[in-house]
Amino acid sequence: MEFETIRVSADGAVGQLTLNRPDRLNAIGVATMQDIGEAARWFDRRPEVRVVIVRGEGRAFCAGADLKDPPVAGAAPGEGRSWAERREVGQLGLRMADAVEQMRAVTIAQVHGYAVGGGVVLMAACDLRVAAEDAVFSIPEIDLGIPLAWGGIPRLVREIGPALTKELVLTCRRFTPAEAKAAGFVNRVVPAAALDAEVTALAAELAAKPPVPVTITKEHVNAVTRSMGAGLTAFADGDALLATCFAPESLDAARAYRERTVGSGKRKG
Ligand code: COA
């Protein structure tokens, strides 16, 4: 199946979903959100695919929302569009993360380099996470003048608890794979050179298990976390984005943040 912004493949029981915009560190714009949703449905139509590895092409897993894609970036939020159209765009990130989380196959996030904002949410939507030692995590939305959306808050609270979620989201500070592992957010941390082999072996191990109990276990854990409320509160995340990104101080924050990260005044690294 051909997509504009991702590569999708299946080799027997193991599939791959590769974010494929390395020139933008696999930042996620509208097209990628739609592609990932469609890819989830593509995998669901292939019962032989038991495990899907979610990874990024190039030197990063994912640099989060595409700050050069105005409908996503917040700084120029959909001029000329109706409110209903803007709301649709606002909800796309949530739909994308939900689609990944609800796939039938077990998903493994294979994470190297940067995982920023929406990239962390995409990781959280996967069932398992394996990170390279050189991975760098951060959730900078508040510096960008917006709340963390895409169902990120309930997923993080589910995985790492409320206090650490608040700290990481409020401070926007970077955190390491070691800290993420200690918090229970990543399952394994491995040397960068071993990442591919480690994830391939884990995928093969899971794909060789009896299918029905694997699927039931995934669905059962998801049902338990849903019953604890995780995910139920994110239905209006797109509205929260729209409500905040027009506030003058948010527009100022977004402008300044984009300038220093992806603009001409950017600091390196
Ligand atoms: N959206 C669009 N383009 C992005 C991007 C994003 N989120 N993140 C990186 N890019 C682009 C850069 O503009 C650059 O493009 P250029 O070569 O045309 O200038 C390219 O990807 C490489 O990024 P660069 O900033 O040169 O790499 P770096 O190693 O110096 O820094 C980051 C990497 C991730 C620290 C930095 O790119 C960054 O902070 N990006 C913004 C991440 C972010 O805040 N995302 C939103 C989360 S809600």
184 half-sphere exposure, CB direction, 13 A CA radius:
9
Which tokens go with 135? 């991975």
- For residue 1, tell me if it sits in a domain: no
* Residues pairing with 170 in the sheet: none
Is residue 74 pLDDT above 80, yes or no?
no
Q: How far apart are CA 179 and CA 59, in angstroms?
A: 21
- For residue 107, tell me if it sits in a domain: yes
Predicted confidence band at 173 (pLDDT cuts at 50, 70, 90)? very high
Q: What is the count of structural domains for the chain?
A: 1
Does the Cβ of 55 fall within 6 Å of ligand 1?
no
> Which domain range does residue 240 map to?
6-193+210-260
> Which domain CATH number covers 151?
3.90.226.10
Is residue 6 pLDDT above 50, yes or no?
yes
- For residue 174, tell me if it sits in a domain: yes
- For residue 266, tell me if it sits in a domain: no
More confident residue, 88 or 165: 165
- For residue 204, tell me if it sits in a domain: no
Long-range contact list for 232-235, CB < 8 A, 24+ apart? 232/154, 233/153, 233/154, 234/94, 234/149, 234/150, 234/151, 234/153, 234/154, 235/94
Q: Give the Å distance between the CA of 132 and the centre of ligand 1.
A: 19
- To test the ligand 1 pocket, which listed residue (23, 25, 92) has its Cβ within 8 A of the most ligand atoms? 25
- For residue 59, tell me if it sits in a domain: yes
- For residue 134, tell me if it sits in a domain: yes
Predicted confidence band at 75 (pLDDT cuts at 50, 70, 90)? very low
Q: Which atom of ligand 1 is nearest to the CA of 148?
A: 48
Q: Which atom of ligand 1 is nearest to the CA of 262?
A: 13
Does the Cβ of 245 fall within 6 Å of ligand 1?
no
Q: How far apart are CA 13 and CA 11, in angstroms?
A: 6
Predicted confidence band at 267 (pLDDT cuts at 50, 70, 90)? low
- What tens digit of pLDDT does each residue of 214-264 get? 999 999 999 999 888 777 788 889 888 888 888 889 889 988 999 999 988
- What tens digit of pLDDT does each residue of 133-161 get? 999 999 999 999 999 999 999 999 999 99
Does the Cβ of 63 fall within 6 Å of ligand 1?
yes
- For residue 175, tell me if it sits in a domain: yes
Q: How far apart are CA 101 and CA 123, in angstroms?
A: 10
Is residue 268 pLDDT above 60, yes or no?
no
